[in-house]
Each structure stands twice: as C-alpha cells, then as structure tokens.
Amino acid sequence: MDRFRAALRDQHLITVFDYWCASRGEKSMPSRSDIDPVDFPPKVLPYLLLADVVSSGSGHRYFHRLCGSAHVEASGWDQTGTYIDELPPRDGYRDYLIGLYDALIARKAPLYTESTYLWREGLVRTTRRLMLPLSNDQVEVSMVLAVQVFDFPDRQLFIKSTLGNFSEYHETFRLFYPETTTQEDVAKG
C-alpha cells in the first residue's frame, strides 16, 4: 500500500484513497453505502466522479452519475447523466477511457494513471486519475469512485484549452493496487 499511496503524489487523491481503504475495512471493496461524500473535505468534492457499472449484452457500460465541477471545467462540459461510450471518439480517447474502466472491473482493484494532453498551440496539461471500485455484493464492481486532478500552469490558457479540444493524449504511468504495473499495462492504454 505504501508504494501505491506514495505514487498518488496529490493530497486530493491520497485523501480519497485513505477514505476508500478505511471504508472497506476487511472487505475487498467498500459498497456505495459505505461512501458518503459529506465525509470528504470540501476541497476534494470538485474533483470527484462517480460512475455506475451497467451490465449489457456486450460487456459493461459506464454511466456518469456525478462529475465534479473541476472535471466539468477541465472537460468543457458536464458529463453527469451520460454514458462514457456516448463521448465523441476523439482519436481513440473514448476507447481509452472505457479501457480504464474495463481494466478496473477485471482486476477489481484501484487504478492510478497519469496522462498528458497536448494542444496544437503547444500547450500541455497533465492529469492524475485515481479510480476505486465499489461493490454491492463483494463479487462484482457496481460503481466506480474516481478523483481526477489537472495540472495546468497558466489559468488563462486553461480556460481556452479544455479537454474537449486537445489534439493528442498519452498515458505516461499506470499502477494497480496492490502495487502492480507493467509496460504492457501502459501500452494497452
């Protein structure tokens, strides 16, 4: 746990991870009823995302139940009430996001990633994303609690450069809890 927690490098992510660990106790995953957003410090709430895992004939779909205001500001639109597969394809970015959720569902374990987004103007933004499984039955993942923070050095450029108009993205790091990561994991994106 120490290596995974240290990799998070952001107090928002560490706060949510510690809360998830405390909420699960001896269970493999906490349930949604174990999680109360009121327990989070107010500064964490804008960075939270909550997605339902909806089984379908061809696998799973992921429904955004909640997208915090920092995520709305970074992406340029509120995805609350939408399925991830309804996002524009964006040169494989939608499939990348679905792949992250699929990987978390398959491993039933927390997932941490770092990604870099580039704009044609030469602007760069880095994001750190922590995705945590929730389960109603301790067998299947029923929801995903995520916290995502964005590093963008210039506030004025941030406003003009939402995630809705980036030109390319690259995952630079992937780590599962317990601490397992491989180049293959990063390459799979």
Q: Are 67 and 80 in contact (CB under 8 A)?
A: yes
pLDDT at 103: 95
Q: What is the DSSP annotation of 64-122?
A: EEEE-HHHHHHHSS--TT-BGGGS--GGGHHHHHHHHHHHHHHHTS-EEEEEEEE-TTS
Q: Which pTM does this prediction carry?
A: 0.87
pLDDT at 185: 46
Query: Which CATH number, 3.80.10.10, 1.10.287.80, 3.40.190.10, 3.30.450.20, labels domain 2-188?
Result: 3.30.450.20
**What are the pLDDT digits (tens) for 3-41?**
899 999 899 999 999 999 999 999 999 999 999 988 999
Phi and psi (nearest 5°) for 87?
-65, 155
Strand-pair partners of 173: 114
Name the residue ranges covered by the structural domains of the chain. 2-188
> What's the residue count for the chain?
189
**What are the pLDDT digits (tens) for 98-124?**
999 999 999 999 999 998 877 666 777
Q: Are 57 and 74 in contact (CB under 8 A)?
A: no
Burial (Cβ within 10 Å: 0-12, 13-18, ≥19) of residue 60: middle
For residue 170, the 8-state DSSP code is E
For residue 161, the 8-state DSSP code is -
Nearby residues of 107 by Cβ (< 8 Å), 6 or more positions away = 176
User: Cα 47 to the chain's mean position, in Å?
Assistant: 10
